[in-house]
Amino acid sequence: MDELSFDEWQKTVPEWMKSDPHPTPYPSPTSQLTRVNMQRIATKLKLYWPLTKSLQTGLLLSTGLAGFMSARCPVMHWYDFLGLGVSLFLAIAGSTIINMWYDRDIDAKMQRTCNRPLASGKVTPKEALRLGLVFSVLGVGLAVAMSPLYGLVVFAGLFFDVIVYTVWLKRRTAWAIVWGGISGGMPILAGRVFGLGRVDGVGILLALAVLFWIPTHILTFSMRYHEDYRAAQIPTFPSAYGFHATRATIAVSSVLAALSIAGAGFLIGMEWGYLRLLAVLSGGLLVLAVASVFRPTERVNFGLFKYASMYMLGAMLLISLSAI
């Protein structure tokens, strides 16, 4: 390590240390430098974390783990579970970061997203792209190493999300969300494929459940931030077909999502108790979706958006718990 002059060292000392009422009489420059480096790393991590959209990534990760659990493997090794979690996290977070890198111009125009690290200039585009690519390559690479078929499904999810949805269709058509939904269904299919070693009907049904759930989640969101999307000139269902048609679409897709999850749960062999609870949670989703059509208010719309996330997490927990 290069020797620092006193002046150079002083520049590296953060403000709070300079105002310390009890300073160390002779702080070692090396230890101070380590501390500063640690702070830099912590600051970077704080900036990088929002790039992964942790809640969305966490929700998709939970679907992948639930898909694996639903396969009811006769032997479940902790390293398989850990490998699945790490590879899915890296692939999902990687594709999310690349999406955010590609959409940074849109984010800068929207009030809701203009403070994101890339849009606000806290992270450089080059840095974000590098991070996204590293995450994606590591995630898909680990997945392929674990099982080629599983790796293929993980790669398909990443490809549909980044190339088909974000780069190709998002700025052209409101129907892009179908592809967003297909990519959203890939983690649960991947988990199931990793557990079984093949693609089966239940896996497809679980992926369809996520595909049909996506409009409930995304379209309520695009209604809430309708003006933002319009400012960024992104075609959405509300701007293309109006709010009423969008609400009707949400209601229909909620019914299909609930039926798909219930069907998959039944075919997986979930016990009646778990199916009863799944039916109750689905009932709540349907009531809110119908209420949003016949009594549309901002509150119902927001409630449906939040409930849809809770519903998906709850359904995934039930699928996982029922397999234990």
Pair of tokens at residue 293 = 């059509």
> For other proteins, which is the closer residue by CB, 38 or 310?
310
> For other proteins, which is the closer residue by CB, 92 or 281?
281
Binding flag, residue 85, other proteins (CB under 8 A): no
Is 34 within 8 Å of 13 (Cβ atoms)? no
**Cα(256)–Cα(309) distance, rounded to whole angstroms?**
16
Binding flag, residue 281, other proteins (CB under 8 A): yes
What DSSP string describes 56-84? HHHHHHHHHHHHHHHT--SS--HHHHHHH
Nearest distance in Å: CB 35, other proteins: 33
Distances (CA, A) of 288 to 20, 220, 245, 275: 55, 11, 16, 20
Pair of tokens at residue 240 = 């293309």
Q: Which of residues 197, 201, 269, 283 is near other proteins by CB under 8 A?
A: 283
Binding flag, residue 198, other proteins (CB under 8 A): no
**Cα(225)–Cα(152) distance, rounded to whole angstroms?**
35
Residue whose tokens read 């790490």: 86
Binding flag, residue 287, other proteins (CB under 8 A): yes
> For other proteins, which is the closer residue by CB, 82 or 310?
310
Print the binding letters for residues 239-278 with other proteins: x by CB under 8 A, - otherwise.
--------------------------------xxxx-xx-
> For other proteins, which is the closer residue by CB, 112 or 276?
276
> For other proteins, which is the closer residue by CB, 239 or 309?
309
> For other proteins, which is the closer residue by CB, 134 or 287?
287
Binding flag, residue 303, other proteins (CB under 8 A): yes
The number of residues in the chain equals 324
Binding flag, residue 296, other proteins (CB under 8 A): no
Q: Which of residues 52, 307, 312, 315 is near other proteins by CB under 8 A?
A: 307
Nearest distance in Å: CB 284, other proteins: 4
- Asked whether the CA dihedral 39, 88, 303, 236 is positive or negative, the reply is positive
> For other proteins, which is the closer residue by CB, 141 or 296?
296
Nearest to 312 by CA among 96, 56, 81, 91: 56
Binding flag, residue 306, other proteins (CB under 8 A): yes
Binding flag, residue 84, other proteins (CB under 8 A): no
**Cα(126)–Cα(44) distance, rounded to whole angstroms?**
14
Phi then psi dihedrals of residue 174, to 5 deg: -70, -20
Interface residues with other proteins (CB under 8 A)?
A: 271-274, 276-277, 279-281, 283-284, 287, 299, 302-303, 306-307, 310
